[in-house]
Structure 1
Amino acid sequence: MSKTIYRREYDVLLTLIEKHRKDSGLTQVACSTALGRPQSFMSDVETGSRRLDIVQLRDLCNVLGIEFQVLIAEFETSLSADAGSTGR
């Protein structure tokens, strides 16, 4: 099994995180600050160079104003849609 950061699923998650950050009107800097993290934190997350654990993902959802369960449901829906469009 390949490392998580190289899997299609991780790309889908990163795309959703960036989408919700932008939809919330937060910059990467503002989001990082709200999380009490260094300025580069969100940039590193969105480029995939920093992985999030489940607790950090939940905290991020709180900052972005999206319920954790909603993000997970959207993630699953996006995976299904993506798999259908690629013929998988």
Structure 2
Amino acid sequence: MNNAVYQKAYAAFRVRLKEARLGAGLTQLEVAKSLQQPQSFVSKCESGERRVDFVELQTFAALYKVPLSYFL
């Protein structure tokens, strides 16, 4: 996969990640507390500064009450 396609796909994923949080009615701080992480962890995941791995994605999906397929 070329870099431009990969970046576009990851940008779309980040939008879905934020939309899922907002759809669940949660703030970044509330999510961070649930994950026992600093608020900056959630911010960095949503901004793309930090990559989200599969295990973390499963945790986000459960917290936001969406299936993993939501993020595809």
RMSD: 1.9
**Cα deviation 1:17-73 (Å, max 9, x = unaligned):** 1011001000011111111211211111111001111000011111111122x324x
TM-score (norm 1): 0.72
Structure of higher CA gyration radius: 1
Alignment of 1:1-88 (within 5 A): 1-2=2-3, 7-68=7-68, 70-72=69-71, 75=72
More relative contact order, 1 or 2 (CA 8 Å, 6+ apart) = 2
- The residue type equivalent to 1:54 in the other structure is F
Q: Provide structure 2 residue ranges, at least 5 long, that are not aligned to the other structure.
A: none
Count of residue pairs the alignment pairs up = 71
Which of structure 1's runs of 4+ aligned residues deviate more than 6 A?
A: none
Q: Provide structure 1 residue ranges, at least 5 long, that are not aligned to the other structure.
A: 76-88
Matched residues in 1 for 2:54 and 2:4: separation? 17
